[in-house]
């Protein structure tokens, strides 16, 4: 594991430049995520309304995005997007869909090829597990950039929430983090009841 850290340090400048370039790209093109985002939010709201009709269900308090760590290993790059009441992980009726925000992960393979070439300038032999370790670091960088995109997507979420305001609490918090781990508040949406 010591060498993995050494490799990570060696490409630190590349990673920093990559984050900067990627954020500039996402900042310009994040609206490309709107159609899939809105479609998934529609599905979540319909699922929640179905649960409310069947059972007594509290109002929605959280819009949740969770990174599935296994998706980085399998190459699916999916995240879990869900709605929950105030009980969060204890909410047995949590509405959830899986979504691959293509815009966030679209260049990971070419980025990894660039990393490999950079590492080969100094290291004669690079093990697959070392490249996988570096890939997980790049994916984590992408995930953190997605947090910033979520702030912008919240405007689109607000429009959808207003259409069905009666199933939401007065303020919806947008949470993001690793699956079943501590989640960070990355934004909020006030529900207009007028």
Given this model, what pLDDT does residue 193 score? 59
**168 token code pair:** 């939401």
List the chain residues with pLDDT less than 50.
54
Q: How far is CA 146 from CA 48, 60, 130, 175, 180, in A?
A: 25, 23, 25, 12, 18
Given this model, what pLDDT does residue 89 score? 65
End-to-end CA distance of the chain: 57
Given this model, what pLDDT does residue 140 score? 92
Q: What is the pTM of this model?
A: 0.86
Q: 182 lies in which domain range?
A: 2-190
Per-residue HEC secondary structure of 70-137 comes to HHHHHCCCCEEEEEECCCHHHCCCCEEEEECCHHHHCCHHHHHHHHHHHHHCCCCCCCHHHHHHHHHH
Q: Are 118 and 14 in contact (CB under 8 A)?
A: yes
Q: Inter-axis angle of helices 12-29 and 2-10, to 10 degrees?
A: 60
Given this model, what pLDDT does residue 119 score? 94
For the chain, how many structural domains are there in total?
1
Given this model, what pLDDT does residue 56 score? 54
Alpha-carbon distance of 135 to 87, in angstroms, equals 34
Given this model, what pLDDT does residue 179 score? 83
Given this model, what pLDDT does residue 145 score? 93
């Amino acid at each position: 594991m010591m060498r993995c850290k050494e490799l990570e340090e060696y490409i630190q400048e590349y990673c920093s430049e990559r984050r900067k370039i990627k954020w500039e790209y996402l900042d310009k093109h994040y609206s490309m995520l709107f159609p899939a985002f809105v479609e998934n939010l529609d599905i979540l709201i319909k699922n929640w309304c179905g649960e409310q009709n069947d059972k007594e269900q509290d109002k929605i308090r959280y819009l949740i995005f969770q990174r599935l760590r296994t998706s980085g290993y399998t190459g699916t790059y999916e995240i879990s997007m869900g709605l929950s009441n105030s009980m969060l992980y204890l909410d047995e009726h949590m509405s959830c869909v899986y979504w691959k925000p293509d815009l966030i992960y679209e260049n990971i393979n070419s980025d990894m090829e660039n990393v490999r070439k950079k590492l080969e300038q100094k290291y004669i032999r690079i093990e697959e597990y070392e490249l996988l370790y570096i890939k997980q670091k790049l994916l984590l960088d992408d995930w953190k950039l997605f947090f910033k995109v979520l702030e912008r997507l919240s405007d689109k979420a607000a429009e959808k929430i207003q259409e069905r305001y009666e199933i939401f609490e007065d303020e919806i918090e947008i949470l993001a983090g690793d699956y079943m781990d501590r989640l960070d508040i990355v934004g909020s949406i006030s529900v207009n009841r007028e």
